Amino acid sequence: MNDDDRPLPEPQPPKVEPTPIPGTIPPPVGMLDRDVIHTAPEAAIGEADLRAAEAGEIVQGTSLWKDAWQRLLKNKLAVFGMIVVAIISVATLVGPFIIKWATGLTPDYIPTDAALIKSIPPFTAPDGSFSWTHPMGTDNQGRDILARVLQGGQISLMVGIISTLVSLLIGVSYGATAGYLGGRIDNLMMRLVDVLYSLPYIIIVIVLLSMFRSQTARGQLLLLFAALGSVSWLTMARIVRGQVLSLKNQEFVLAARATGVSTPRIIFRHIVPNTLGPVIVYATLTVPTVMLTEAFLSFLGFGVQPPMASWGSLATDGIQNIAIFPWQLIFPGVTMALTLFSLNFLGDGLRDALDPQMRKF
Amino acid sequence: MPLFILRRLLITIPTILVVITITWGLIRLAPGNFYTGEKRLPEAIEQNIREKYGLDKPWYEQYRRTMWSIVRHLDFGTSLKYEGQSVNTIIARSLPVSATVGILAYLLALIVGIVVGSIAALKQNSKWDYASMALAMLGISVPNFVLGPILVLIFSLTLYWLPPSRWNGFPSWNLVLPVLTLSGIYMAYIARLTRAGMLEVLRSDYIRTARAKGLSERDVVVKHALRGGLMPVVSFTGPALAFLLTGTVVVERIFALPGLGNYFIQASLNRDEPLIIGIVAFIAITLLLMNLLVDIAYAYLDPRVRY
């Protein structure tokens, strides 16, 4: 037969070298990364994928998360923030152990020699010569400030993260419920948020913390989590509600309802996971805000109680002695500012990466 | 519009009553009492104190009495700690201090923030843009109770240029450091908001039209772009007031100013119930009214907004 005479088409071998895409000019050699126009490589990838698909290859699709991750890595400030946050988090976790191993000092070690119970400047030995023992100096009781700053960082970061999780829990449930149920319930729930928005909540938190001041440091910490978490969920609720409103009329929700899924399950299993992008962005930006509020409360004496210490309470202790021992304020203050600075940049970068529409140029 | 204002005012009144009730409830639910101290009081004296302040009555009777004098006469009672001084006198005396510092700080922040933000937007992606935005982020990240003492350290304790603390009337050098400390964070926020708003507006069609008409760049920016670009700044005024309140608390503590915030912290530590409730109510009323004013201003500035 005729057909048998013709040779079978050989399957094309997978291309190793990228061939120039018709219609685009190949980038000149030595072209800098920043010269590439943003949309061009993405469009090129799309076309390459299309051609690869036609050639019968399996295409690895770019997921939302992978795409966002790549966009995040392009943002230098965000990468800087991410690295600093990572370094500081690791340092607060393992730093105290390293210091103990290297110098034998713990954050609350007070020297037994009475002559050492004084504030020593950074990088100085008690006799005034250079020394690596106390890179941030010591406080009035002769405790190593570096060790205290690292341990205080644990508390500060913990307050920031746990309070944010509390606000996440309340805000997401509240916003998703209001948005999904809609109608009169939604109206009522969001009016309540409006009213709460206009309240001087920080003032009420101060009243709460000063009245119920706990006798134990642990109790005060728990109170702080609850108080900070329960006042910072409002924006989160609004954001989630907005997202849910636009999601709830889509087909997958209809399909879930048609198959008899219960309402709470639709909300939390089908809708909430789809709101994750903005939620992550806003949560990242909530952490520094909460940490700042905690520092503010510690400054007023309502925050973390001794023997625990946070960056805020360490800086507050330093204020008393600023004229003579400025390093007692400067090191905790600068460490906290650097952390908040980096977290803010990271949050901004995440917003640009995950939510290009919310992007503020 | 008048209907909107009326509706908002109608919500405001119950909101304030709820705030007062929450505050009252928090103080009453907490263990102990304002007269409990290290030393236990003799039975008879405690009895007398309870009678004098009406604490021997059932709680609803006490609540009714407190609320009634507030609603009826706007009378918050007498301070428990500053004897013989009514809450209203204390507020009237300390308000001018807080208001002076707060208003000056906000004006300074507006001027600096808008100028810096506009320059950053007009020269987007330039050195100026990056530098000012990094500085603004720093302003948001440095807590004001760290900034304040550092300013004192530099300008008072090292250079001896400015007095480090105390209240000395309105036009005085004592105001410089508190105002700077307080305005830092607003400056940063306003600069960021102005930049974002301006960037959005500068790309819009009506700016292109204005340019196409042949207006000078100065007229385009000052007469057309700023008006639209400043909308985010206007809506920030509401949250800014809330920040201002917390800010003044810190600044008044650092610089030992006899303002509302300082009295509020003292009252909270002393458990001075009438004074706490008075200051909380005053702050809530101010905040709610200011928010209403902002919303009205918004409608006038942006004709697209309708209530």
Q: What is the mean pLDDT of chain A?
A: 75
- Is B285 within 8 Å of chain A by CB? no
- Is A315 within 8 Å of chain B by CB? yes
| Nearest residue on chain B to A292, alpha-carbon basis | B143
Q: Is the ipTM of this complex over 0.90?
A: no
Selecting from A200, A296, A329 the residue whose C-beta is nearest the C-beta of B250 gives A296
Using DSSP, state whether B243 is helix, strand or coil: helix
Selecting from B137, B157, B250 the residue whose C-beta is nearest the C-beta of A345 gives B137
* CB pair distance less than 8 Å for A212 and B142: no
Using DSSP, state whether A106 is helix, strand or coil: coil
* CB pair distance less than 8 Å for A315 and B138: no
The answer, yes or no, to whether residue A15 has pLDDT greater than 70, is no
Give pLDDT, residue A50: 57
Give the count of beta carbons closer than 10 Å to the beta carbon of residue A63: 9
* CB pair distance less than 8 Å for B153 and A300: no
* DSSP H/E element including A70: helix A64-74
Task: Count how many Cα atoms sit within 13 Å of the Cα of residue B287 in the half-sphere of its side chain.
Answer: 26
pLDDT bracket for residue A54 (50, 70, 90): low
Rounded to the nearest angstrom, the minimum Cα separation between A335 and chain B is 10
Give pLDDT, residue A314: 86
Cβ–Cβ pairs < 8 A, chains A and B = 123
- Is B24 within 8 Å of chain A by CB? no
Place of tokens 């930006």: A285
CA angle B64, B69, B73 (to 5 degrees): 150
Note the pLDDT tens digit of each residue in A294-326. 888 888 888 888 778 888 888 888 888 877 787
- Is B255 within 8 Å of chain A by CB? no
Selecting from A204, A312, A323 the residue whose C-beta is nearest the C-beta of B23 gives A204
Beta bridge partners of A130: A124
Rounded to two decimals, the pTM is 0.77
pLDDT in tens, chain B (307 residues): 778 788 878 888 888 888 888 888 888 887 777 777 667 777 788 788 777 777 777 778 888 888 887 888 777 778 777 777 888 888 888 888 888 888 888 889 889 998 998 888 888 778 888 888 888 888 888 888 888 888 888 887 788 877 777 777 778 777 888 888 888 888 888 888 888 888 888 888 888 888 888 888 888 888 788 877 888 888 777 767 766 776 788 888 888 888 888 888 888 888 888 888 888 888 888 888 887 887 787 777 776 666 5
* CB pair distance less than 8 Å for A361 and B29: no
Which residues on chain A are in Cβ contact (under 8 Å) with B253? 299-300
pLDDT bracket for residue A24 (50, 70, 90): very low
- Is B235 within 8 Å of chain A by CB? no
> Considering only CA atoms, which of A196, A177, A195 is closest in space to residue A186?
A177
Place of tokens 């700042």: A292
Note the pLDDT tens digit of each residue in A117-137. 676 777 777 676 777 677 777
Q: What is the DSSP letter of A130?
A: B
